[in-house]
Protein backbone atom coordinates (compact mmCIF):
# COMPACT_ATOMS: atom_id res chain seq x y z
CA UNK A 1 0.00 0.00 0.00
CA UNK A 2 1.43 3.36 -1.05
CA UNK A 3 2.00 6.20 1.40
CA UNK A 4 -0.86 8.16 -0.20
CA UNK A 5 -3.18 5.18 0.17
CA UNK A 6 -2.25 4.93 3.85
CA UNK A 7 -2.93 8.63 4.39
CA UNK A 8 -6.30 8.46 2.60
CA UNK A 9 -7.30 5.36 4.55
CA UNK A 10 -6.38 7.00 7.85
CA UNK A 11 -8.45 10.05 6.92
CA UNK A 12 -11.45 7.96 5.90
CA UNK A 13 -11.31 5.95 9.11
CA UNK A 14 -11.01 9.06 11.25
CA UNK A 15 -13.95 10.79 9.57
CA UNK A 16 -16.04 7.63 9.84
CA UNK A 17 -15.40 7.37 13.56
CA UNK A 18 -15.68 11.12 14.21
CA UNK A 19 -18.56 12.31 12.04
CA UNK A 20 -20.40 9.39 10.47
CA UNK A 21 -20.91 6.48 12.86
CA UNK A 22 -21.74 8.69 15.88
CA UNK A 23 -24.87 9.90 14.03
CA UNK A 24 -25.83 6.50 12.62
CA UNK A 25 -29.31 5.49 13.81
CA UNK A 26 -29.46 8.53 16.06
CA UNK A 27 -30.42 11.28 13.58
CA UNK A 28 -33.33 13.48 14.52
CA UNK A 29 -35.87 14.58 11.92
CA UNK A 30 -34.33 18.06 11.88
CA UNK A 31 -30.94 16.55 10.95
CA UNK A 32 -32.27 15.04 7.70
CA UNK A 33 -33.24 17.28 4.79
CA UNK A 34 -34.73 16.58 1.38
CA UNK A 35 -32.16 17.81 -1.12
CA UNK A 36 -34.12 16.73 -4.20
CA UNK A 37 -36.71 14.16 -5.19
CA UNK A 38 -35.68 10.85 -3.61
CA UNK A 39 -32.42 12.36 -2.36
CA UNK A 40 -31.59 13.44 1.19
CA UNK A 41 -28.72 15.03 3.05
CA UNK A 42 -27.90 14.77 6.75
CA UNK A 43 -25.86 16.70 9.26
CA UNK A 44 -23.33 13.86 9.08
CA UNK A 45 -22.82 14.39 5.33
CA UNK A 46 -21.92 18.02 5.91
CA UNK A 47 -19.66 17.34 8.89
CA UNK A 48 -17.88 14.53 7.06
CA UNK A 49 -17.33 16.63 3.94
CA UNK A 50 -15.80 19.46 5.95
CA UNK A 51 -13.40 17.08 7.69
CA UNK A 52 -12.47 15.28 4.48
CA UNK A 53 -11.87 18.55 2.65
CA UNK A 54 -9.66 19.83 5.46
CA UNK A 55 -7.64 16.62 5.50
CA UNK A 56 -7.18 16.53 1.73
CA UNK A 57 -6.15 20.19 1.69
CA UNK A 58 -3.29 19.30 4.01
CA UNK A 59 -2.18 16.46 1.72
CA UNK A 60 -2.07 18.76 -1.30
CA UNK A 61 -2.93 22.41 -0.66
CA UNK A 62 -2.82 23.41 -4.32
CA UNK A 63 -5.64 21.22 -5.60
CA UNK A 64 -9.28 22.25 -5.97
CA UNK A 65 -11.90 20.42 -3.91
CA UNK A 66 -15.26 19.34 -5.28
CA UNK A 67 -17.50 17.93 -2.57
CA UNK A 68 -21.04 16.77 -3.23
CA UNK A 69 -22.67 19.04 -0.67
CA UNK A 70 -20.56 22.08 -1.52
CA UNK A 71 -21.34 21.61 -5.21
CA UNK A 72 -25.05 21.33 -4.45
CA UNK A 73 -24.92 24.65 -2.60
CA UNK A 74 -22.68 26.31 -5.18
CA UNK A 75 -22.76 24.70 -8.67
CA UNK A 76 -19.87 26.92 -9.80
CA UNK A 77 -17.63 24.52 -7.87
CA UNK A 78 -18.13 22.03 -10.73
CA UNK A 79 -15.86 24.16 -12.91
CA UNK A 80 -12.94 22.85 -10.86
CA UNK A 81 -13.46 19.38 -12.36
CA UNK A 82 -11.64 20.37 -15.54
CA UNK A 83 -8.37 20.78 -13.65
CA UNK A 84 -6.56 19.07 -10.77
CA UNK A 85 -9.19 18.32 -8.13
CA UNK A 86 -10.12 16.18 -5.19
CA UNK A 87 -13.65 14.77 -5.59
CA UNK A 88 -15.53 13.84 -2.41
CA UNK A 89 -18.70 11.94 -1.65
CA UNK A 90 -18.74 12.18 2.15
CA UNK A 91 -21.46 9.58 2.61
CA UNK A 92 -22.33 7.57 -0.46
CA UNK A 93 -25.61 5.81 0.20
CA UNK A 94 -27.09 8.61 2.30
CA UNK A 95 -30.65 7.29 1.86
CA UNK A 96 -29.55 3.99 3.41
CA UNK A 97 -27.63 5.79 6.15
CA UNK A 98 -30.52 8.12 7.02
CA UNK A 99 -32.84 5.12 7.19
CA UNK A 100 -30.59 3.34 9.66
CA UNK A 101 -29.46 0.65 7.22
CA UNK A 102 -26.49 -0.04 4.99
CA UNK A 103 -24.52 -0.06 2.86
CA UNK A 104 -22.87 3.36 2.92
CA UNK A 105 -19.31 4.53 2.39
CA UNK A 106 -16.91 7.29 1.50
CA UNK A 107 -15.69 7.94 -2.04
CA UNK A 108 -12.65 10.06 -2.87
CA UNK A 109 -11.01 10.57 -6.25
CA UNK A 110 -8.07 12.61 -7.45
CA UNK A 111 -8.66 13.88 -10.97
CA UNK A 112 -6.77 15.86 -13.57
CA UNK A 113 -7.59 16.71 -17.17
CA UNK A 114 -11.17 15.56 -16.65
CA UNK A 115 -10.13 11.99 -15.77
CA UNK A 116 -9.78 10.28 -12.41
CA UNK A 117 -6.12 9.49 -11.75
CA UNK A 118 -6.62 7.82 -8.36
CA UNK A 119 -9.67 6.60 -6.49
CA UNK A 120 -10.53 5.26 -3.04
CA UNK A 121 -13.66 3.51 -1.75
CA UNK A 122 -14.22 2.92 1.96
CA UNK A 123 -17.03 0.83 3.46
CA UNK A 124 -17.83 2.57 6.73
CA UNK A 125 -19.35 -0.54 8.30
CA UNK A 126 -16.92 -3.29 7.28
CA UNK A 127 -13.79 -1.19 6.83
CA UNK A 128 -13.14 -2.58 3.35
CA UNK A 129 -10.74 -0.25 1.52
CA UNK A 130 -10.49 -0.22 -2.26
CA UNK A 131 -7.80 1.80 -4.03
CA UNK A 132 -6.73 2.33 -7.62
CA UNK A 133 -4.23 4.46 -9.51
CA UNK A 134 -4.37 4.85 -13.28
CA UNK A 135 -2.12 2.27 -14.90
CA UNK A 136 -1.29 0.56 -11.58
CA UNK A 137 -4.15 -1.89 -11.01
CA UNK A 138 -6.88 -2.17 -8.39
CA UNK A 139 -6.52 -3.17 -4.75
CA UNK A 140 -8.70 -4.31 -1.86
CA UNK A 141 -7.17 -3.89 1.57
CA UNK A 142 -3.73 -3.65 -0.01
CA UNK A 143 -4.03 -6.79 -2.13
CA UNK A 144 -4.12 -6.49 -5.91
CA UNK A 145 -7.29 -7.97 -7.39
CA UNK A 146 -8.57 -8.99 -10.81
CA UNK A 147 -12.26 -8.61 -11.59
CA UNK A 148 -14.20 -11.85 -11.66
CA UNK A 149 -17.66 -12.59 -12.98
CA UNK A 150 -20.40 -14.37 -11.06
CA UNK A 151 -20.19 -17.30 -13.48
CA UNK A 152 -23.98 -17.46 -13.60
CA UNK A 153 -26.19 -17.95 -16.65
CA UNK A 154 -27.89 -15.62 -17.29
CA UNK A 155 -25.49 -12.98 -15.90
CA UNK A 156 -26.46 -11.01 -12.80
CA UNK A 157 -27.56 -7.41 -13.40
CA UNK A 158 -28.18 -4.51 -11.05
CA UNK A 159 -29.97 -1.86 -13.10
CA UNK A 160 -30.45 1.53 -11.51
CA UNK A 161 -33.79 2.93 -12.72
CA UNK A 162 -34.22 5.36 -9.83
CA UNK A 163 -33.46 8.41 -11.97
CA UNK A 164 -35.09 7.16 -15.17
CA UNK A 165 -38.46 8.52 -16.23
CA UNK A 166 -41.34 6.08 -16.62
CA UNK A 167 -40.83 5.59 -20.36
CA UNK A 168 -37.11 4.81 -20.06
CA UNK A 169 -37.75 2.50 -17.12
CA UNK A 170 -40.29 0.53 -19.14
CA UNK A 171 -37.92 0.33 -22.12
CA UNK A 172 -35.10 -0.97 -19.92
CA UNK A 173 -37.35 -3.66 -18.49
CA UNK A 174 -38.46 -4.68 -22.01
CA UNK A 175 -35.16 -4.70 -23.91
CA UNK A 176 -32.54 -5.41 -21.24
CA UNK A 177 -34.01 -7.11 -18.18
CA UNK A 178 -35.07 -10.39 -19.88
CA UNK A 179 -31.45 -11.22 -20.67
CA UNK A 180 -30.25 -11.11 -17.05
CA UNK A 181 -31.07 -12.21 -13.53
CA UNK A 182 -32.02 -8.93 -11.91
CA UNK A 183 -30.99 -8.13 -8.36
CA UNK A 184 -31.71 -5.12 -6.21
CA UNK A 185 -29.35 -2.17 -6.43
CA UNK A 186 -27.67 -1.21 -3.14
CA UNK A 187 -28.26 2.51 -3.80
CA UNK A 188 -24.59 2.98 -2.98
CA UNK A 189 -21.83 3.17 -5.59
CA UNK A 190 -19.30 2.40 -2.85
CA UNK A 191 -20.94 -1.04 -2.70
CA UNK A 192 -22.02 -1.50 -6.32
CA UNK A 193 -18.59 -1.13 -7.87
CA UNK A 194 -16.98 -3.73 -5.59
CA UNK A 195 -19.85 -6.11 -6.36
CA UNK A 196 -18.94 -5.86 -10.05
CA UNK A 197 -15.37 -6.99 -9.44
CA UNK A 198 -15.80 -9.47 -6.61
CA UNK A 199 -18.06 -12.00 -8.34
CA UNK A 200 -21.41 -10.88 -6.98
CA UNK A 201 -22.81 -8.84 -9.89
CA UNK A 202 -21.89 -8.98 -13.57
CA UNK A 203 -23.29 -5.76 -15.05
CA UNK A 204 -24.86 -2.50 -13.99
CA UNK A 205 -26.50 0.46 -15.67
CA UNK A 206 -26.27 3.86 -14.03
CA UNK A 207 -28.54 6.66 -15.24
CA UNK A 208 -27.17 9.55 -13.16
CA UNK A 209 -23.38 9.78 -13.37
CA UNK A 210 -22.20 12.57 -11.08
CA UNK A 211 -18.46 12.71 -10.46
CA UNK A 212 -18.58 12.07 -6.71
CA UNK A 213 -20.61 8.89 -7.28
CA UNK A 214 -18.53 7.38 -10.10
CA UNK A 215 -15.02 8.83 -10.39
CA UNK A 216 -13.41 6.47 -7.89
CA UNK A 217 -15.42 3.36 -8.70
CA UNK A 218 -15.16 3.62 -12.48
CA UNK A 219 -11.38 3.94 -12.30
CA UNK A 220 -11.13 1.10 -9.79
CA UNK A 221 -13.22 -1.34 -11.84
CA UNK A 222 -11.37 -0.51 -15.05
CA UNK A 223 -8.05 -1.02 -13.30
CA UNK A 224 -9.32 -4.37 -12.01
CA UNK A 225 -9.88 -5.55 -15.59
CA UNK A 226 -13.61 -4.94 -15.82
CA UNK A 227 -14.99 -2.18 -17.97
CA UNK A 228 -16.79 1.07 -17.26
CA UNK A 229 -17.67 3.39 -20.12
CA UNK A 230 -20.42 5.44 -21.63
CA UNK A 231 -22.88 3.38 -23.69
CA UNK A 232 -21.22 4.63 -26.88
CA UNK A 233 -17.87 3.32 -25.64
CA UNK A 234 -16.39 6.69 -24.73
CA UNK A 235 -14.54 6.93 -21.39
CA UNK A 236 -16.17 8.24 -18.26
CA UNK A 237 -15.06 11.81 -17.59
CA UNK A 238 -15.58 13.69 -14.36
CA UNK A 239 -16.05 17.03 -16.14
CA UNK A 240 -19.34 16.09 -17.82
CA UNK A 241 -21.81 16.78 -14.99
CA UNK A 242 -24.92 16.86 -17.17
CA UNK A 243 -24.27 13.69 -19.15
CA UNK A 244 -26.32 10.59 -18.31
CA UNK A 245 -25.85 6.89 -18.89
CA UNK A 246 -22.98 4.63 -17.82
CA UNK A 247 -22.39 0.89 -18.10
CA UNK A 248 -20.22 -1.10 -15.73
CA UNK A 249 -19.32 -4.76 -16.18
CA UNK A 250 -17.09 -7.40 -14.65
CA UNK A 251 -15.49 -8.10 -18.04
CA UNK A 252 -15.16 -6.38 -21.41
CA UNK A 253 -17.24 -9.15 -23.03
CA UNK A 254 -20.13 -8.62 -20.62
CA UNK A 255 -19.86 -4.89 -21.26
CA UNK A 256 -20.08 -5.43 -25.02
CA UNK A 257 -23.19 -7.60 -24.69
CA UNK A 258 -24.98 -5.07 -22.50
CA UNK A 259 -23.91 -2.11 -24.65
CA UNK A 260 -25.48 -3.78 -27.70
CA UNK A 261 -28.76 -4.22 -25.84
CA UNK A 262 -28.53 -0.68 -24.51
CA UNK A 263 -28.34 0.60 -28.07
CA UNK A 264 -31.71 -1.04 -28.78
CA UNK A 265 -33.09 0.36 -25.53
CA UNK A 266 -31.99 3.86 -26.55
CA UNK A 267 -33.38 3.59 -30.08
Same domain, 9 and 141: yes
Structural domain includes residue 30: yes
pLDDT-derived band at 160 (thresholds 50, 70, 90) equals: confident
Q: How far is CA 17 from CA 33, 81, 124, 127, in A?
A: 22, 29, 9, 11
Of 137-141, 166-170, 229-233, which range is least confident?
A: 166-170
Q: Domain range spanning residue 30?
A: 3-145
Predicted local confidence at residue 171, as pLDDT: 77
Is the bond preceding residue 172 a cis peptide, omega within 30 degrees? Answer: no
Same domain, 139 and 213: no
> Measured between alpha carbons, how far is 115 from 100 in angstroms, rounded to an integer?
34
Q: What is the pLDDT of residues 26-78, one digit of tens each?
A: 988 889 888 766 678 899 999 999 999 999 999 988 899 999 999 988 999 99
Looking at 91, 120, 145, the residue that finishes a domain is 145
Same domain, 13 and 125: yes
pLDDT-derived band at 131 (thresholds 50, 70, 90) equals: very high
Same domain, 134 and 163: no
Structural domain includes residue 104: yes
**Could you give the percent of the chain with pLDDT greater than 70?**
99
pTM across the whole model: 0.95
Same domain, 221 and 138: no
Question: What is the rounded average pLDDT for all residues in the chain?
Answer: 93
Same domain, 101 and 223: no
Structural domain includes residue 78: yes
Same domain, 171 and 223: yes
Same domain, 58 and 138: yes
SS3 of the chain: the string is CCHHHHHHHHHHHHHHHHHHHHHCCCCCHHHEEEEECCEEEEHHHHHHHHHHHHHHHHHCCCCEEEEHHHHHHCHHHHHHHHCCEEEEEEEECHHHHHCCCCCCEEEEEEEECCEEEEEEEEECCCCCEEEEECCCCEEECCEEECCECCCCCCCEEEECCCCCCHHHHHHHHHHCHHHCEECCCCCCHHHHHHHHHECCCCEEEEEECCHHHHHHHHHHHHHHCCEEECCCCCCCCCCCCCCEEEEEECCHHHHHHHHHHHHHHHC
Domains held by the chain: number: 2
Predicted local confidence at residue 58, as pLDDT: 93
Residues 221/195, Cβ–Cβ less than 8 Å: no
> Which residues are registered as beta bridge partners of 203?
157, 249
Predicted local confidence at residue 55, as pLDDT: 96
End-to-end CA distance of the chain: 45
Task: Kindly report the CATH number assigned to the domain that includes residue 176.
Answer: 3.40.190.80
Mean pLDDT of 250-257: 98
pLDDT at 248 over 80: yes
> Measured between alpha carbons, how far is 182 from 178 in angstroms, rounded to an integer?
9
Same domain, 55 and 133: yes
Task: Kindly report the CATH number assigned to the domain that includes residue 123.
Answer: 3.30.540.10
- CA nearest neighbour of 218 among 245, 185, 239, 247: 247
Q: How far is CA 173 from CA 29, 60, 243, in A?
A: 35, 45, 22
Predicted local confidence at residue 124, as pLDDT: 98
**Could you give the percent of the chain with pLDDT greater than 90?**
78
Mean pLDDT of 202-219: 95
pLDDT at 161 over 80: no
Structural domain includes residue 151: no
Same domain, 85 and 182: no
Structural domain includes residue 150: no
Same domain, 235 and 133: no
Mean pLDDT of 140-169: 90
Predicted local confidence at residue 233, as pLDDT: 96
Same domain, 9 and 136: yes
Predicted local confidence at residue 205, as pLDDT: 92
Predicted local confidence at residue 16, as pLDDT: 98
> Measured between alpha carbons, how far is 105 from 98 in angstroms, rounded to an integer?
13
Amino acid sequence: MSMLDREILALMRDVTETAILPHFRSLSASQIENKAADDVVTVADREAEELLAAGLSKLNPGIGIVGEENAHANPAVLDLLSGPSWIIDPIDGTNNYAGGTGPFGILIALADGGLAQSGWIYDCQSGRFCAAHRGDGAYVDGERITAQTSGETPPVAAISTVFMDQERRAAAMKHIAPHYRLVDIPRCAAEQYPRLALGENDVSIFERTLAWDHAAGALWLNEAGGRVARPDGSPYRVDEPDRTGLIGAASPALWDDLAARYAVFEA
